[in-house]
């Protein structure tokens, strides 16, 4: 099964790639021992968003379904975690809150996905329906300011956002709780990214992955070959959306806060920018590219959030006009070609 | 139910109908006919609204300012078509991304340039009584504007030479070009007309709402949803879609309030798409055969 991490659906299959993967991983693990804890917390913050990007890469790049609903499931799971963590009164039960929040996101994706995919909503309409659902959720949560909007102990608090939930924590040695904040959260997120990344590579190189790529290329042909296209699409949609949910729950846990602005526009456009710019066709490109963009975005946001968003818009426009495949993939191909010509191999051509 | 109550319900229906149709009219051309998923549609609406308000502050009478607001949005639309949209007719998803990028740049750029809010101009006064209820005249003007926009689309595309050429181009651009139609110009003008109608929507609603650079997003869901429910044939589908959705929404508004109205309309849309994948116009043309 582990052989599946390499395959035709992913870039970077050689030993050289895996060597650099290990080097990057080693740097990532070693980083907290050299940097100050504030920076580590910040890194954890933008690594949290990477799950959402990888989910979108799976659905859009591999499955051909452009969804704008990533922040919808981000929000469902983020609010779900918050409400549950408050009502479970924190502690180790936050772990249950995380799992249930993810299940909630998956259930929502299943229902929405069923209606869209079985309804034959394809191509651009897929995007429009998901975007509408996303904006309606943001709009709905924005007006829950009144005291009547409580779920159990949790107050939704409208536009100002919900707060006061405990971060994720588990029992640790000496009867102490380990709170996933700062460095601990960083390690948790790194571990999750490695697991999700490898699992997704195996998924797309497996039989399932080959089928969803076949569906992307030509749904009718895939259907005539005997596959129930709709089931594969729904499964892809649920997996990808649940990954957005993972980002959402971790985000709420990170800041002990979630607000409707992380769901509506312009937040809903961000995953699209990351994945389009990086290159939707490949998981590794998405992983690397999203991280770089988030880092740049965060650096500029400190000075001006508007300027950072303008840059995002400009990047999207530039990607579509200059490198529709995505810049990271284009760059990787370029490097591959240079490297290939240096060693005299003509494999990539 | 008394006559007054019936009138009140009709009035609210007309209000929602006007909102749906005015937000969707421009998009019906750009998306419904040309197939461009214009995520910057809301920004054309914003453009019309801002130009109107700026001109009114400059001392111009409201109706002329509104007209100029719509025209400005139309001109901007032609420029955008030539610079950006033109490249993406064969790649609809890329046109979506490009216009979304544009929308981000414009809204955030406006936030930097103009700030988060602009002094409004206030709804034109004027009201009338039916029974013991007071109704605003301006809301009726909005309704008239919506009907006017539909009539304009119908007239331009069914009764003028340009409309015939445009429909021919949308159906088969290569054939139209071979027959001597200047396809590029037809596309640019159609997109401009769509943008202009979006600007008209913004201009008409400018006196009634708070102007913020992100105001486009309050229209965008309604506009896309109306066009999608209408289906591919916008001349046939948009008006019934507006009527149907407005009826659903007015009922739910009256029954459970604004939020349920909005969510209920969306749920209805998802169900309608599930039942009628080709939209209302697909349903209507099938019945005719």
Q: What is the pLDDT of residues A21-40, one digit of tens each?
A: 999 999 999 999 988 888 88
**Residue A187 falls inside a structural domain:** yes
Kindly give the interhelix angle for A93-118 and B258-275, rounded to the nearest 10 degrees.
50
Residue A52's domain spans which residues?
2-265
Residue of chain A nearest B39, judged by CA positions: A128
Put simply, whether B257 touches A (Cβ < 8 Å) is: no
- Supply the pLDDT for residue B80: 95
Nearest CA in chain B to A143: B259
DSSP string, B72-101: HHHHHHHHHHHHTGGGGTT-HHHHHHHHHH
Spatial neighbors of B107 by CB under 8 A, at least 6 apart, are: A266, A309, B43, B46, B213, B214, B216
Residue of B nearest to A265 (CA): B217
Q: Is residue A114 part of a domain?
A: yes
Q: Over 80: is that where the pLDDT of B100 sits?
A: yes
CA pair distance B215, B49, nearest whole angstrom: 9
DSSP B22: H
**pLDDT tens-digit readout, A48-61:** 999 999 999 999 99
Window from A339-348, B23-32, B84-93 with minimum mean pLDDT: A339-348
Residue of B nearest to A144 (CA): B259
| Domains in chain B, number | 1
CB atoms within 10 A of CB A226: 6
Residue A178 included in any domain? yes
**Residue B253 domain-assigned (yes or no):** no
Single pTM value for the model: 0.87
Cα A159 from Cα B211, distance rounded (Å): 19
Least confident residue range of A139-153, A158-172, A332-346: A332-346
By the CB < 8 Å criterion, does B263 face chain A? yes
Binary contact (A317, B111; C-beta < 8 A): no
Query: How close does chain A come to B158, measured CA to CA in Å?
Result: 27
Would the pLDDT of B103 be above 80? yes
Among A69, A119, A120, A230, the strongest candidate for a mutation testing the B interface, having the largest count of B CBs within 10 A, is A119
A334 domain-assigned: no
The predicted pLDDT at position A26 comes to 93
Instruction: Check A128 against B214: CB less than 8 A apart.
Output: no
Residues from chain B that touch A320, judged by Cβ atoms under 8 A, are 88, 94, 97-98, 101
Interface test with A, best of B43, B93, B115, B282 (most A CBs within 10 A): B93
Residue B29 is assigned to a structural domain of this protein: yes
Cα A86 from Cα B89, distance rounded (Å): 50
pLDDT number for residue A346: 38
Tell me, yes or no, whether B272 lies in a domain: no
Nearest to A129 among B93, B220, B270 (CB): B270
Report if residue B119 sits inside a domain: yes
B247 falls within a domain: no
pLDDT (average), residues B211-229: 87
Domain that holds residue B23: 3-213
For residue A282, CA distances in Å to A241, A248, B95 come to 17, 23, 21
Share of chain B above pLDDT 70, in %: 99
CA nearest neighbour of A234 among A128, A129, A121: A121
Segment A233-257 mean pLDDT: 95
State the pLDDT at residue B210.
85
- Quote the CA–CA distance of A80 and A112 in Å, as a whole number: 17
Q: Where are the alpha helices (DSSP H) in A143-228?
A: 182-205, 207-217, 219-224
Determine the average pLDDT of the residues in B6-21: 91
Residue B282 covered by a domain: no
> pLDDT per residue over B125-137, tens digit each?
888 888 778 888 8
Structure confidence by residue, pLDDT tens digits, A294-340: 988 888 888 888 888 898 899 889 888 888 888 888 888 787 777 76
Quick check: B250 pLDDT over 70? Answer: yes
How would you classify the pairing of strands A150-151 and A154-155? antiparallel
Q: What is the mean pLDDT of residues B146-160?
A: 93
pLDDT, tens digit (0-9, with 9 covering 90-100), for B259-289: 788 888 888 887 887 788 778 888 887 776 5
Report CA-CA distances (Å) from A205 to A87, A287, B43, B236: 41, 17, 42, 46
- Residue with the bigger pLDDT between A345 and A255: it is A255
Distance CA A268, CA A136 (A): 12
* Domain presence at residue A29: yes
CA pair distance B139, A71, nearest whole angstrom: 35
Look at residue A349 and tell me whether its pLDDT is greater than 50: no
Is-contact A288 A328, C-beta < 8 A?
yes
In whole angstroms, what is the distance from residue A203 CA to residue A207 CA?
8
In this predicted structure, the answer to whether residue A107 has a pLDDT above a threshold of 80 is: yes
Mean pLDDT of chain A: 88
Q: How far is CA B191 from CA A345, B50, B186, in A?
A: 49, 20, 8
* Beta-carbon contacts below 8 Å between A and B: 119
Q: CA–CA separation, A299 vs A293, rounded Å?
A: 10
Q: What is the pLDDT of residue A199?
A: 94
Give percent above pLDDT 90 in chain B.
49
B104 touches chain A (CB under 8 A): yes
Token pair of B74, please?
Answer: 């139309």
- In this prediction, residue A348 has a pLDDT band, given cuts at 50, 70 and 90, of very low
Q: What is the mean pLDDT of chain B?
A: 89
Contact A317 B101 (CB under 8 A): yes
Closest C-alpha among A83, A139, A79, A128 to residue A108: A79
Q: What is the ipTM for the molecules in this complex?
A: 0.83
Residue of B nearest to A276 (CA): B97
Q: Where are the beta strands (DSSP E) in A63-182?
A: 150-151, 154-155, 162-163, 169-171, 177-179
A321 touches chain B (CB under 8 A): yes
Contact present, B71 and B55 (Cβ < 8 Å):
no
- pLDDT single digits (tens) B18-48: 999 999 999 999 988 888 889 899 999 999 9
Other CB atoms within 10 A of residue A45 CB: 18
B111/A118 Cβ within 8 A? no
Residue A159 lies in a domain: yes
Q: pLDDT band for A345, please (50, 70, 90 cuts).
A: very low
pLDDT at A100: 95
Lowest mean pLDDT among A269-278, B91-100, B243-252: B91-100
A127-131, A224-228, B98-102: least confidently modelled range:
A127-131
As for how many domains chain A has, the answer is 1
The mean pLDDT of A205-229, rounded to a whole number, is 93
Is B277 near chain A, with CB under 8 Å? yes
């Amino acid at each position: 099964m582990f052989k599946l991490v390499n395959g035709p659906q992913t870039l970077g299959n050689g030993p050289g790639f895996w060597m650099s993967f290990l080097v990057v991983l080693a740097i990532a693990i070693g980083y907290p021992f050299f940097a100050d804890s504030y920076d580590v917390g910040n890194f954890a913050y933008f690594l949290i968003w990477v799950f959402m990007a990888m989910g979108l890469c799976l659905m859009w790049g591999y499955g051909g379904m452009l969804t704008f609903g990533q922040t919808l499931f981000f929000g469902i799971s983020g609010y779900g975690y918050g409400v549950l963590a408050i009502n479970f009164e924190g502690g180790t039960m936050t772990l249950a809150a995380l799992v249930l929040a993810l299940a909630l996101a998956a259930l929502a994706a299943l229902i929405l996905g069923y209606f869209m995919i079985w309804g034959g909503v394809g191509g651009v309409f897929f995007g429009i329906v998901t975007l509408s659902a996303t904006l309606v959720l943001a709009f709905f949560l924005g007006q829950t300011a009144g005291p009547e909007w409580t779920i159990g102990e949790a107050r939704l608090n409208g536009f100002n956002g919900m707060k006061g939930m405990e971060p994720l924590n588990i029992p640790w040695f000496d009867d102490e709780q380990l709170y996933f904040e700062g460095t601990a959260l960083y390690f948790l997120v790194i571990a999750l990214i490695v697991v999700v990344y490898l699992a997704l590579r195996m998924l797309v190189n497996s039989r399932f992955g080959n089928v969803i790529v076949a569906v992307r290329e030509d749904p009718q042909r895939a259907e005539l070959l005997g596959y129930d296209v709709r089931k594969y699409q729904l499964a892809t949609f649920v997996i990808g959306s649940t990954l957005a949910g993972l980002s959402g729950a971790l985000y709420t846990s990170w800041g002990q806060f979630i607000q409707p602005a992380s769901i509506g526009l312009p937040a809903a456009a961000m995953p699209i920018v990351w994945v389009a710019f990086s290159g939707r066709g490949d998981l590794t490109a998405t992983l690397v590219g999203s991280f770089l963009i988030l880092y740049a975005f965060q650096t500029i946001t400190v000075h001006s959030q508007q300027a950072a968003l303008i840059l995002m818009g400009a990047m999207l426009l530039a990607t579509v006009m200059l490198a529709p495949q995505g810049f990271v993939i284009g760059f990787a191909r370029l490097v591959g070609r240079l490297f290939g010509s240096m060693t005299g191999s003509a494999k990539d051509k | 139910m008394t006559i007054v109550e019936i009138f009140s319900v009709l009035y609210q229906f007309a209000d929602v109908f006007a909102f749906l149709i005015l937000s969707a009219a421009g998009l019906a051309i750009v998306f419904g006919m040309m197939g461009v998923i214009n995520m910057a549609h809301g920004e054309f609406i914003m453009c019309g609204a801002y130009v109107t308000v700026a001109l009114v502050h400059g001392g111009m009478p409201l109706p002329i300012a509104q007209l100029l607001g719509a025209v400005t949005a139309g001109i901007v639309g032609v420029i955008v078509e030539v610079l950006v949209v033109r490249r993406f007719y064969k790649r609809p998803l890329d046109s979506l991304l490009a216009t979304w990028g544009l929308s981000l740049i414009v809204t955030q750029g406006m936030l930097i340039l103009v700030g988060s809010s602009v002094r409004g101009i206030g709804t034109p006064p004027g009201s009338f009584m039916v029974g013991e209820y007071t109704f605003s005249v301006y809301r009726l003007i909005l309704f008239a504007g919506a009907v006017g926009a539909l009539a304009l689309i119908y007239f331009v595309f069914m009764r003028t030479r340009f409309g015939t050429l445009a429909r021919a181009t949308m159906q088969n651009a290569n054939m139209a070009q071979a027959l001597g139609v200047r396809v590029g110009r037809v596309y640019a003008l159609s997109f401009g007309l769509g943008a202009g109608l979006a600007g008209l929507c913004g201009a008409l609603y400018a006196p009634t709402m708070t102007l913020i650079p992100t105001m486009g997003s309050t229209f965008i869901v309604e506009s896309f949803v109306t066009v999608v429910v209408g289906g591919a044939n916008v001349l046939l589908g948009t008006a019934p879609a507006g009527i149907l959705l407005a009826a659903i929404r007015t009922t739910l508004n009256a029954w459970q309030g604004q939020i349920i109205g909005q969510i209920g309309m969306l749920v209805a849309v998802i169900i309608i798409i599930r039942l009628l994948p080709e939209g209302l116009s697909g349903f209507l043309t099938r019945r005719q055969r």
